[in-house]
């Protein structure tokens, strides 16, 4: 007897579907889904051939062609690895090549040093605004920061320590500071407090709450993402845990519309914001930091400030040791601007150039650290400061260096206490912080 109501699925023939051959260390699957080899990274690239031909004949290359060439090279730039070649982000390569070249060229003469050390921040700012305008993630600044730490330490060991002015204790302190900076950066790179879509994980609201919200928000929420054609909120809109549900019930439909994130499909809690570079919403978002290639939010803000403080102390200490070695019997400030005979030999010239490069980086980080201290003292995020400046709200002190919207300011001591407990307590906000 055969069973009715169902048909037995046909057995698959293993001979008809052969398994894919394992990749060797130099092979990979490209963006077109085809097997490729590392040795053929410059082969069969029509856009690259066309771009080279136009460059040789002194003709302009179309921006679209340049973008396709960059995408192709970034896809083919790989290193051999077990079970297939691994892709290398092309943005980490320029600092590894250009930084040593620029610093060594700047060591040849005082004029070259001024030109190179002036152009480096300009080039970095240009690249920052280029990527920031496109809203793209880049590892350039993270690579530049890490490689700068490593290269400055390498020059210190090769050119400064052999002169005999740096003792073992001083070298150990500087080395410990370097490792503490790396550890703090590792902590700052962790999850800043990304908001996940709670659909399927949190409890949905009851039928009475759904009906009440749909009836209140049918007119005012019509047309924004998360509503159906009739203007009713769908079930995904109404899921943000217990906090999000209470805020939606207590707030007006207009406020629900303001806090709704169409990209992440969720209702943001107070002080959260969507990062267009990371593509996710972040709790208590401060800003997107290119130096760690991540957002600074509720969960990693403390580690970020700690990394800045340790870096500043370590950098100032290293600069002091170097200047005391190559410019003896002079104060640090005097040696920085007047160190006769420093270009007499290449070793001292390279050390002096690296000192000035470190001073430029340290000055930039010190400004960021100062802004962070001011914002923490007033319990305001950088995102809220920029929003207050655009809307021309809040108090401005010291020519706009201090901006106090006043919405979350609870006093100096309580503001620092709140900052010290970020990420260590459940995400429950007092009623006064719900906006």
Residues annotated catalytic, as ranges: 289
Rounded Cα gap, residues 144 and 93, in angstroms: 9
Both structure tokens of 23: 């990749």
Both structure tokens of 139: 């590892």
DSSP state of 194: B
208: which residues sit within 8 A by CB, 6+ positions away?
A: none
Whether 163 contacts 325, CB under 8 Å = yes
Rounded Cα gap, residues 98 and 79, in angstroms: 20
Residue in this structure with the two tokens 């470190």, named with its chain if needed:
358
Handedness of CA 319, 324, 327, 331 (dihedral sign): positive
259: which residues sit within 8 A by CB, 6+ positions away?
A: 247, 251, 267, 268, 269
Backbone phi and psi for residue 89, each to the nearest 5 degrees, phi listed first: -70, 125
Rounded Cα gap, residues 141 and 133, in angstroms: 16
Rounded Cα gap, residues 155 and 173, in angstroms: 17
Residue in this structure with the two tokens 């990274």, named with its chain if needed:
41
Q: How far is CA 365 from the centre of its chain?
A: 15
Residues in the chain: 435
DSSP state of 30: -
Rounded Cα gap, residues 375 and 409, in angstroms: 10
Q: How far is CA 158 from the centre of its chain?
A: 32
Both structure tokens of 320: 């002091």
* Axis-axis angle for helices 93-106, 110-134 (nearest 10): 160
């Amino acid at each position: 007897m055969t069973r009715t109501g169902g048909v037995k699925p046909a057995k698959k023939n293993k001979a008809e579907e052969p398994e894919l051959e394992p990749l060797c260390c130099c092979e990979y699957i490209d963006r077109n889904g085809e097997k490729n080899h590392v040795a053929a990274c410059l082969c069969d690239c029509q856009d690259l051939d066309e771009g080279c031909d136009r460059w040789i004949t002194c003709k302009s290359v179309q921006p679209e062609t340049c973008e396709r060439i960059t995408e192709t090279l970034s896809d083919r730039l790989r290193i051999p690895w077990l079970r297939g070649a691994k892709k290398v982000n092309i943005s980490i390569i320029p600092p590894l090549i250009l930084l040593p070249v620029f610093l060594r060229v700047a060591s040849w003469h005082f004029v070259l040093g001024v030109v190179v050390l002036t152009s480096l921040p300009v080039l970095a700012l240009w690249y920052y605004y280029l990527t920031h305008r496109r809203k793209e993630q880049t590892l350039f600044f993270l690579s530049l920061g890490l490689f700068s730490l490593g290269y400055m330490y390498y020059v210190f060991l090769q050119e400064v320590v052999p002169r005999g002015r740096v003792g073992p204790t001083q070298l150990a302190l500087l080395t410990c500071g370097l490792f503490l900076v790396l550890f703090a950066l590792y902590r700052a790179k962790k999850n800043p407090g990304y908001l996940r879509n709670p659909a399927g994980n949190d409890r949905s609201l009851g039928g009475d709450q759904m009906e009440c919200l749909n009836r209140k928000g049918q007119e005012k929420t019509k047309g924004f993402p998360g509503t159906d054609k009739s203007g009713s909120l769908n079930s995904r809109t109404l899921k943000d845990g217990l906090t999000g549900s209470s805020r939606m019930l207590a707030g007006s439909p207009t406020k629900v519309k303001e806090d709704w994130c169409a990209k992440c499909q969720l209702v943001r809690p107070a002080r959260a914001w969507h990062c267009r570079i990371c593509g996710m919403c972040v709790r208590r978002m401060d800003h997107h930091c290119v130096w760690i290639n991540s957002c600074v939010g509720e969960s990693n803000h403390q580690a970020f400030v700690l990394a800045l403080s340790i870096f500043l102390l370590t950098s100032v200490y290293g600069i002091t040791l170097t200047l005391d070695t190559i410019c003896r019997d002079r104060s640090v400030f005097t040696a920085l601007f007047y160190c006769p005979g420093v270009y007499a030999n290449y070793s001292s010239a390279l050390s002096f150039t690296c000192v000035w490069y470190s001073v430029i980086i340290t000055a930039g980080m010190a400004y960021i650290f100062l802004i962070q201290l001011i914002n923490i003292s007033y319990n305001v995020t950088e995102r809220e400061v920029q929003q207050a400046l655009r809307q021309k709200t809040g108090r401005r002190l010291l020519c706009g260096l201090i901006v106090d919207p006043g919405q979350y300011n609870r006093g100096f001591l309580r503001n620092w206490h709140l900052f010290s407990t970020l990420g260590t307590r459940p995400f429950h906000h007092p009623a006064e912080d719900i906006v």
